[in-house]
Amino acid sequence: MKQKIKILFRHRSMEMGGVEKVILDMLENLPKDIFDITLLLTIYQGELRTAIPKDIKVITIQQGREDMSQNLIIRYFQLIKRGFVLWYYRRFPKALQKKYLIDDFHLEVAPGYSDFDSVLNSPLKTRKIGWFHTDVSYDPNQKRVLSRINKLKQFDWVIFGSRQTRQVIKDLYKVDYPNSSVIYNAIKIDEVQKKSAEFPVEYDIRPVFSSMGRLHSRKGYHTLMKIHKKLLDDGYLHSIAVIGGGGEMENLKKQAKELNVEKSFLLLDTQLNPYPYIINSDYFILPSESESYPLTIGEVMGLYIPIVSTNVGGIPEMIDDQVDGILVEPTEKQIYAGMKMFLTNPDIPAKIKKNQKTSIEKFDNQKIYDEVTSVFLKQFDLKR
């Protein structure tokens, strides 16, 4: 029997997010006759932890919040203990190897920048692969940007999530990565379409712009709320439904109260199945200041919902402007104009909706799995 290539994916946890969806997709679709895959989770935590394929070996270092005591005092000490254990293994990676990683692996994969240190500091004699999905041009923290750029150089191979993600590092920092490739994230349109019909969603105020993303300042939701208020004040009735959780939730709730838009700017938090909320909306708006290659864009196209999106990161590699979506600059004025266009000229979103039925053919998932397989096979050959 031909030897299988043993791959170790390392990640912190499985909260809902784009990187986590990419991990699940790879675990499910990389060829099992070639690869023997293990997932090492630092913390067994997050909405997507139960979605890990059953045939994947999972190693967990610490329990998640879901499994901790409901008693606040006990929970407090459990979190302190967890923090100490994780610090210890970061400080002494050989101790982690001795306890949890008794198998030999050929490749180690860091699916996102948060996993770079754990893979690069690993004492395992493996080829190391880094996956990078982040547009660095909008990060004001230059120390953090340069740290990530330099860590990318240490990997044996780097997979970039879009052409723009790699090109912007070359343009701004004059750094090139000869041992790298651009591989888009797979978009599971059939699955999204099926999930979108699982339950009905009713909105009180129509038309509705849905949106989906983590509530982070660079996602632009504080700006979107101001635009929403201006559109209402200018007489354009609509509502916005934002699906996603994150650190900006309380700030956005406070802003919604101050602007008196709590009933029309809906903060729906994280949803395990967000697609019924999207398919039952009229339009989709993505106001991000930075993105790489967001899965959401392809998923929304697959639900045939007209899109207004900021022209950032790898999004122009997904949307053909004025054909299957509208691209605008990430400014209040331009986002306002794009949304107003949909609200006042129904022929434009109708044309986009029609075009999306054929444009989704550009998302070729099998090609993506073949490209990742090729990268992994090449690293295995070099290791031998």
Report the C-alpha gap between 38 and 46 in whole angstroms.
18
Q: Is the pLDDT of residue 86 over 50?
A: yes
Q: What percent of the chain has pLDDT over 70?
A: 100
pLDDT at position 17 is: 86
Q: Please report which confidence band the pLDDT of residue 202 belongs to, taking 50, 70 and 90 as the band edges.
A: very high
Cβ-Cβ contacts under 8 Å for 189 (sequence gap 6 or more): 298, 299, 301, 302, 360, 363
- Residue pair 157/180 in contact by the 8 Å Cβ criterion: yes
Does domain 189-362 match CATH 3.40.50.2300? no
Give pTM, 2 decimals: 0.85
What string of DSSP letters covers 90-127?
HH-HHHHHHHH--S--SEEEE-SGGGHHHHHT--S--E
**Residue 241, beta-bridge partner list:** 210, 266
Token digits of residue 161: 């999530």
Statement: residue 143 has pLDDT above 60: yes
Q: Are 285 and 224 in contact (CB under 8 A)?
A: yes
- Class of the 5-186+364-383 domain? alpha beta
pLDDT reported for residue 97: 94
Residue 236's CB is within 10 A of a number of other CB atoms, namely 16
Indicate the angle between helix axes 332-344 and 221-233, nearest 10 degrees. 50
List phi, psi (to 5°) of 355: -65, -30
Structure tokens at 72: 């606040």
Model confidence over 333-381: pLDDT tens digits? 999 999 999 999 999 999 999 999 999 989 999 999 999 999 999 998 8
| Contact of 312 with 220, CB cutoff 8 Å | no
- DSSP class of residue 3 equals P
Contact assessment for residue 196 and residue 304, using Cβ atoms and an 8 Å cutoff = no
pLDDT at 1 over 50: no
Which position has the higher pLDDT, 192 or 1?
192
Average pLDDT, the chain: 95
Which two three-digit tokens encode residue 106?
């050929």
Is the pLDDT score of 3 beyond 90? Answer: no
Pick from 120, 149, 117: nearest CA to 132: 149
CB 179, CB 156: distance < 8 Å: yes
Positions of CATH 3.40.50.2000 in the chain: 5-186+364-383, 189-362
DSSP characters over 5-29: EEEEEEES---SSHHHHHHHHHHHH
Whether the Cβ atoms of residue 324 and residue 359 lie closer than 8 Å to each other = yes
The stretch 197-221 carries a mean pLDDT of 96
| Tokens matching residue 79 | 């979190």
* 42: confidence class by pLDDT, cuts 50, 70, 90: very high
| 73: confidence class by pLDDT, cuts 50, 70, 90 | very high
CB hemisphere CA count around 59 (13 angstroms):
16
Residue 103: per-residue pLDDT: 84
pLDDT computed for residue 292 by the predictor = 86
Report the pLDDT value the prediction gives residue 345, as an integer from 0 to 100: 97
14: number of Cβ within 10 Å: 25
Distance CA(78)–CA(138), nearest Å, equals 37
The more confidently predicted of residues 6 and 3 is: 6
Distance CA(60)–CA(115), nearest Å, equals 15
Contact partners, residue 2, CB within 8 Å, separation at least 6: none
CB 162 within 8 A of CB 336: no
- Could you give the CA distance from residue 80 to residue 336 in angstroms, rounded to a whole number? 46
Q: Please report, as a single letter, which amino acid is at residue 162.
A: S
Length of the chain: 384
pLDDT reading at 316 higher than 50: yes
Which positions ≥6 away from 308 have C-beta within 8 Å? 209, 283, 284, 285, 286, 325, 326, 328, 335, 338, 339, 341, 342
Q: In the predicted model, what is the mean pLDDT of residues 253-276?
A: 97
The encoded tokens of residue 288 equal: 């991000």
Which residues on neighbouring strands pair with residue 310, listed in sequence order?
328
Residue 384 has pLDDT above 80, yes or no: no
| Res 16: pLDDT | 85
Distances 252 to 207, 243, 256, 277 between C-alpha atoms, Å: 21, 13, 6, 20
Mean of the pLDDT values across residues 309-324?
A: 95
Per-residue pLDDT, 2: 73
